[in-house]
Amino acid sequence: MVEKSERIRYVSLAIILVLTALAGILSDGPATSFGDFLTIQSSGARLIQDFTAIGIGGAMVNAALVGLLGLGVVYFSSVTLAGPTIAGIFTILGFGFFGKTPLNCIPIMAGVWASARFAGKTMGSYSLIALFGTALGPLVTYIMFEIGLPLPFSIPLGILGGFVAGAILPAVAGSMLQLHQGYNLYNIGFTCGFLGLFASSALRAADSMEDISIVWNTTSHGTLVFLIPAISAALCFLGAVSPPVGAKRLYLDIRKLQTLSGRLPTDYFDAVDSGAPWFNMGLLGFCSALFIAVVGAPFNGPVLGGILTVIGFGAFGKSLRNCWPVVLGVCLAVVVFGKDITSPGPILAVLFVTTLAPIAGEFGILAGVAAGFIHLFMVESTAAWHGGLDLYNNGFAGGLTATLVIAILHWYRTNRTKEDFKS
C-alpha cells in the first residue's frame, strides 16, 4: 500500500507533468501541438535533435507523456517513489525535449521487463534501468525511420532492436558501476554508451550509419523560459510545506544534504525526514536557470533537458556544494581551450557534468574542478564513438572520466603515508 507521503509525491509529479503538457497546448494550440507531437515520433532522435525546433507545444506534450510513462512504470512496478525514481522521471521528462518519445521508449522498457522475468526478478528491481535505459531510444527511432528500409520491415526491426537493447542492459549495468564505483551518477548513461558502441559499429558494418547532424533551436520561447522557474518554485513550495513543517528543521536538513558526498546510491529522501530534498531540487533548478540566463544561452529543448536532469538528481546525489566545483572545472576548460560556452557542447557539458558531483563531494574542490576540466574534452569526442545513439553522452564520458580520476585518487590515498604530512 502506498503511504501518504508517497501519494503526495505521485500527485505532485503528476500535476507537474500534466501542467507541462497543458502549457505546451496553450502555447501552440491543440491542433498544432498534437500534429507536431506526431511528427516528433518519426523524427530523428540522435544527439542532438532539438524537438522544440519542430514545435514548442509538440515538444512539451511529448516530454510530459514520456514523463507520465515513466511515472506509470514506477507505480506498476510497486517500487518506492523516492530519490532514485524521482531522478529518473525528471531525467526522462527532460530528454523528452530532445531524443526520447513514447514510441522509442516502450520497446526498451519491454526488454528490461523481459530480462527481469528471465532472471526471476520483480520489475521493481530493474525499474531504474527501465527508466534510464531509454537513453538508447534513438536506436529504435533510427532503425524505424532512418536506415532506408520499407516501414513494414523497419518498424518491427526497430522494436526488436530496442527490445534486445533493453534485455541486455541489466546484465551490463552492474559491471559498469564497478568501474567508477558510484562516482558517476549517470551510470546507465555509461552503460548505454558502451552498448551504443556495438550498435553503431553493427550499423556501420551494414553501411547504414549516417553522420551525426545537430538541430539546435537558438530562440528562447517565453513558455520555455518560464517553465524552469515555475517548476523550481513549485518544488521549493512543496519542500516548505512537507511535514514536518518548520523553517529551522528545513534549514538544518538542507545543510545536512550539503554535507553528503552524493555517491551512488544516496537517496536524499532517506537521509532526511523533511521536505529538504524537494527544496534542494528547486534551488538547483533556479541556479541552473540563472546560469543559462547570465551566459546568454538559449532556453531550448536540450538546455531544458539538462536543467531538468539536474533538478531530478537534486533528490539523488546532487547539491549546490558538490555541483559547483565540477561546473567550475568545465568553465575553466572552456576558457583554456577558447570555446564558446553558449555553443551546444560546452553549455550541455556545464549542466550534465554534475554527474561527477560525488567526486567533489567525497574528495574535495580541487578533485571536482579537475574532473570537470577533463570531462569537457572527453564529452566532445565520445558522441562520435556511439554515433549519437546514447542520449546520455555526458554519462558515458562521465563514466570514463570518473574511472580515471577515481583510480588515481584511490591510488594516492592507498599509497601515501602518514609521515608525508608531518613537519
In tens, the pLDDT along 92-143 reads 999 999 999 999 999 999 999 999 999 999 999 999 999 999 999 999 999 9
353 touches 401 (CB < 8 A):
no
Say whether both 298 and 404 belong to one domain. Answer: yes
User: How many structural domains are present in the chain?
Assistant: 2
Distance (Å, whole) CA 212 – CA 114: 31
325 touches 361 (CB < 8 A):
no
pLDDT at position 247: 86
Closest of 255, 301, 288, 313 to residue 99, by C-alpha: 301
Flag whether 216 is in a domain: no
Distance (Å, whole) CA 325 – CA 366: 7
Task: Determine the angle formed by the axes of helices 83-95 and 301-312, rounding to 10 degrees.
Answer: 180
Regions of the chain where pLDDT drops below 50: 1, 419, 421-423
pLDDT at position 422: 42
Q: Which residues are registered as beta bridge partners of 49?
A: 215
pLDDT at position 417: 56
Distance (Å, whole) CA 291 – CA 226: 15
Flag whether 166 is in a domain: yes
Q: Which residues are registered as beta bridge partners of 215?
A: 49
Distance (Å, whole) CA 342 – CA 347: 5
Reported as a single tens digit per residue, the pLDDT across 60-69 is: 999 999 999 9
DSSP string spanning 48-114?
A: SB-GGGT-HHHHHHHHHHHHHHHHHHHHHTT---SHHHHHHHHHHHHHTTTT--HHHHHHHHHHHHH
pTM of the model: 0.95
- Phi then psi for residue 96, to 5 deg, are -70, -10
pLDDT at position 27: 95
Distance (Å, whole) CA 351 – CA 344: 11
Flag whether 48 is in a domain: yes
Closest of 84, 134, 87 to residue 109, by C-alpha: 134
Flag whether 251 is in a domain: yes
Flag whether 264 is in a domain: yes
Say whether both 282 and 388 belong to one domain. Answer: yes
DSSP one-letter code for 146: T
Say whether both 163 and 245 belong to one domain. Answer: no
pLDDT at position 2: 63
Say whether both 43 and 158 belong to one domain. Answer: yes
Flag whether 249 is in a domain: yes
Q: Please confirm whether the linkage preceding 48 is cis (ω < 30° from 0).
A: yes
Say whether both 199 and 237 belong to one domain. Answer: no
83 to 69, 116, 192, 318, 357: CA distances (angstroms): 18, 22, 21, 11, 16
pLDDT at position 408: 93
Say whether both 257 and 406 belong to one domain. Answer: yes
Say whether both 276 and 177 belong to one domain. Answer: no
Distance (Å, whole) CA 144 – CA 274: 46
Say whether both 50 and 155 belong to one domain. Answer: yes
∠ CA(391), CA(169), CA(120), 5° rounding? 145
Flag whether 214 is in a domain: no
Say whether both 194 and 241 belong to one domain. Answer: no
Domain span at 40: 4-205
Say whether both 92 and 183 belong to one domain. Answer: yes
Distance (Å, whole) CA 31 – CA 347: 33
96 touches 65 (CB < 8 A):
yes
Provide the 3-class DSSP secondary structure of residue 152. helix
Say whether both 22 and 154 belong to one domain. Answer: yes
Say whether both 72 and 146 belong to one domain. Answer: yes
- Residue at a domain's end among 176, 205, 234: 205
Flag whether 22 is in a domain: yes
